[in-house]
Structure 1
Amino acid sequence: MSEAILLVGGQGTRLRPLTDSTPKPLLPLAGVACTTHQLLKAKAAGVTRVVLATSYLAEVFEAQYGAGEALGLELVYAVEREPLGTGGAIANAGQFLKGDGPILIFNGDVISNHSLEEQYRVHESSGAVATLHLTPVEDARAYGCVPVDDSGRVKAFLEKMDNPVTNLINAGCYIFDRSIIDVIPLNTVISVEREIFPELVKQHVQGYVSDDYWIDLGTPEAFTKASADLITGRAYSPALGILNMEYLANAAEIATSARITGGTFLDKGVTVDEAAHVHQSVILADSWVGSNAHVENSFVGRGVKIGSGIKLVNVAVGDGVEIHEGTTVSEGARLSA
């Protein structure tokens, strides 16, 4: 398994305003772009060549990664001029593949500690045409569920329901035989989850079930949690190694009476004033947190000014926003300049 397709074309509408100028997969987790975490995980599993399936702000990916030399990978870019859905994106990227062997395909908005090597072993030993990473969740009602038989073979792909028949869900990482990719129609909007997988079940789709750490980065709150989990050691990435820290600060200026807790990330040029408390949050470059401010489970963009005494809980703040002293910010607010 030397080639992969990374699906990074989504617009990240649920993360706005954070994604107004930055694609969701390039938002940082513990100071490192999500895409970098994923590329290095694939590399650690033996992948040497990755096709990035891009659409929204496609040019930003190539500007950041180029041909992949800095990561020790060969990177190529398959650009969708119009969004084609997950299946259409895979078909479009498939034109840039070179080999005939199994292809790793993974979503650009997931962080997982599961073993790609073990998923590949299951794929090879089962004789399946596709092998999916499946993860158990506490409440599967928000997801489509994926029941399997005693051998791990997938029986069906079921839409969201009030009483799921299993707590196993599609975790967004697949291994496909190359022949499957080659028959997906080109230039066609198609969903791999709703249209391709149900057809593949008629052949043989295998589930690789793992209860290792997994998170879907669909919301700002999920991004802040994943970043904190990487910093505190609950999650792992080859980009960072094993960490066990209360916070991670990149040349930030922190007052002696300020408290930084819960796996917070502070980017370069961040200033945190006296008696402020920042907990399980991400604060990007050149932002300022005033005295006695409280920032919790929040993602704060670049060049933001948070006035003295301000309280932010589960808030996403876009670049350049100024929150003046005395302002009341509702929990869960989304603030843009």
Structure 2
Amino acid sequence: VLSVENEAMGTGGAVALARQHLSGQGPVLVLNGDLISSVDVTALVVHHAATGAKATLSLWEVEDPSRFGVCDLDESGMIGRFQEKPEPGTEFSNLINAGCYLIERDVLNGLSSDKHSMEREVFPGLAEAGGMAGLAFTGYFVDAGTPESFIEAAQVCIANGRYDSGHVEGNSWFGEGSNCIGAAHSSSIGQGCNIGEGASVSDCVILSGANIGAGARLDGCLVGQGANVAPDSNYSGLVIGHGASV
């Protein structure tokens, strides 16, 4: 089911809109769609049941938590405080909300249908009331909300075999029907792409149907579907839109 919002409803409003499509009993799993991680959902479910929490968050440790929701986790696996996107230096932990969590049905049913934020308006209250648990995991986690991290997410997927079609050569993934006469390094080459003779792409994501001209050099670029890059051009850190020509 795809929910189309005429107005952005925030994370809380978006989850509330899903209620009408849910059946059955028990906790509901919510997963942010802009991340790649190795979270063990089964372990999360077990921890949720063992603690009797109203909500259980997957947690990841980072050096700079200012872009994320920060959790104060105690020895029993419960979160005593939740702080969304703290100012640098004000965080009380380096454990962040990793965008995968379980919530009980009464929490889900109690969500407002209006625009609101789970992280700013729901989680802090649950933590203060003693109803929120957390479980840290290791492996990998990429919040793919920027062009750079989108490329990183693709590289992590390649390194960990997270693809269901195409093939890997060296450290690059090639989609079905792609044709690479040039060279690709640590890149994702989508279905039906063409990489011309003498061209080189490094740390790039090339989406389906794009054409990279002969002799072109791309480094750290995100190339949209059906885009065209001229022969012998040289770009670094560029985002090229779907169907665009540069």
- TM beyond 0.5: yes
Q: Of 155, 159, 172, which aligns to 2:99?
A: 172
Q: Residue 162 of structure 1: CA displacement?
A: 1.8
Q: Residue 141 of structure 1: CA displacement?
A: 2.6
* Aligned positions of 1:227-266 closer than 5 A: 227-233=154-160, 236-237=161-162, 239=164, 245-249=170-174, 250-255=176-181, 258-262=182-186, 264-266=187-189
1:138 corresponds to 2:63? yes
Count of residues in correspondence between the two structures: 242
1:282 corresponds to 2:205? yes
1:100 corresponds to 2:25? yes
Q: Residue 243 of structure 1: CA displacement?
A: 6.6
Change (3 A) 1:246 1:319: same
Match of 1:35 in 2: none
CA distance in 2 between counterparts of 1:314 and 1:166 reads 32
Q: Residue 242 of structure 1: CA displacement?
A: 11
1:54 corresponds to 2:8? no
Identity within the alignment, %: 32
Change (3 A) 1:138 1:54: same
* Aligned positions of 1:48-197 closer than 5 A: 52=1, 54-55=3-4, 80-159=5-84, 160-163=86-89, 164-186=91-113, 188-197=114-123
> What are the Cα deviations for residues 23-81 of structure 1, in whole angstroms up to 9, with x where unaligned?
xxxxxxxxxxxxxxxxxxxxxxxxxxxxx4622xxxxxxxxxxxxxxxxxxxxxxxx44
Please tell me whether the aligned partners of residues 135 and 169 of structure 1 are also in contact (alpha carbons under 8 angstroms): yes
Match of 2:124 in 1: 198
Match of 1:224 in 2: 151
Q: CA RMSD in A?
A: 2.1
CA distance in 2 between counterparts of 1:162 and 1:273 reads 45
Q: Residue 137 of structure 1: CA displacement?
A: 0.8
Q: Residue 96 of structure 1: CA displacement?
A: 2.1
Q: Residue 245 of structure 1: CA displacement?
A: 4.3
Q: Which amino acid aligns with 1:293?
A: A
Match of 2:216 in 1: 293
Q: Residue 214 of structure 1: CA displacement?
A: 0.6
> What are the Cα deviations for residues 282-307 of structure 1, in whole angstroms up to 9, with x where unaligned?
21233221222111221111222212
Q: Of 303, 309, 318, which aligns to 2:226?
A: 303
Match of 1:271 in 2: 194
Q: Which amino acid aligns with 1:92?
A: L
Q: Residue 252 of structure 1: CA displacement?
A: 1.9
Stretch deviating more after TM superposition (217-226 or 305-314):
305-314
Q: Residue 209 of structure 1: CA displacement?
A: 0.7
> What are the Cα deviations for residues 60-109 of structure 1, in whole angstroms up to 9, with x where unaligned?
xxxxxxxxxxxxxxxxxxxx443221111111211221112111111111
Please tell me whether the aligned partners of residues 225 and 297 of structure 1 are also in contact (alpha carbons under 8 angstroms): no
- The DSSP-based 3-state class of the residue aligned with 1:157 is strand
Q: Residue 204 of structure 1: CA displacement?
A: 1.3
1:211 corresponds to 2:138? yes
